[in-house]
Amino acid sequence: MKTISIDKSYGGTQGVYVSRSEACDCDMTFAVFVPPQAAEGKRPVLWYLSGLTCTHANVMDKGEYRRLAAELGLIIVCPDTSPRGDHVPDEPDNWQFGKGAGFYVDATEPPFSANYRMYSYVTDELPRLLAAEFPADMDRQGIFGHSMGGHGAITIALKNPDRFRSCSAFAPISHASVSGWSKPALRKYLGADEKTWRAYDACSLIEDGHRFAELFVDQGTADSFLEDGLRPDELRQACEAAGIPLKLRMQEGYGHSYFFISTFMEDHLRWHAQRLGK
């Protein structure tokens, strides 16, 4: 692991790091905020997964999480959204696929299967590195994210309910196998058999029997991607049918940007901290 930068913030440290990823076969950059309480012992971990076109830096620069994370004693981990490098296959003119659009899946279709293994990177490789290099209490983990990252957070939590104590999302892609945003990407990453897509679709995972204790979702009513891309009502219906408690707040007049995310970041951090502190 190589340190790119470390800056003191609210008594803690905001670091940016790079390490070689076996899962993605490239160097991967990630950010970690360590609160001041880590000087006294291991702290709970909250993973933040970003959305389409983003890197580790978007939430780090615009998410406004450090003040409260320092107060609550939370480690915040911000991975990148895809593999990077000249050798990584890409569609440069397609912002919904390729670099910046890994969708947190393990691709099975060549040539993407060689690098686009973001599920394994986020759930296995990066956690092992975090546990080895940072004062992280891996028995107290939560996960949240935005848009594509909200999709990633919910699907990962549903498949790993024993690992994560909490899960929330800002404007998640709730039904990835039918969403206009994600369906073309899943076809390229996973192949034509749509049954295989269900493993990376929140609504489908719930329909197939996966469960999580409770979910918390904020969604802006003025989000231009609400109807086709995000489909929160379908997540609501799936949770109701499965008996999963879902706190879905429709925030009047808010869009899809970090103006929306930063406004409600405090609510999400406090919600996670209550569950990670138990």
* Residue 146 among the catalytic residues: no
* Residue 87 among the catalytic residues: no
* Residue 218 among the catalytic residues: no
- Would residue 243 be called left, alpha or beta, if left means φ above 0 and alpha means ψ between -120 and 50 degrees? left
Of 80, 90, 106, 223, catalytic: 223
Contact between 122 and 147 (Cβ < 8 Å): no
Of 56, 151, 175, 256, catalytic: 256
User: At a CB cut-off of 8 Å and minimum separation 6, what does 57 contact?
Assistant: 16, 31
Of 147, 166, 182, 204, catalytic: 147
Helix, strand, coil percentages for the chain (3-state, nearest 5) = 40, 25, 35
CA distance 7 to 90: 33
Residue 183 CB coordination number (10 Å): 16
Per DSSP, the chain holds a count of helices (H) and strands (E) of 9, 9
The set of catalytic residues is: 147, 223, 256
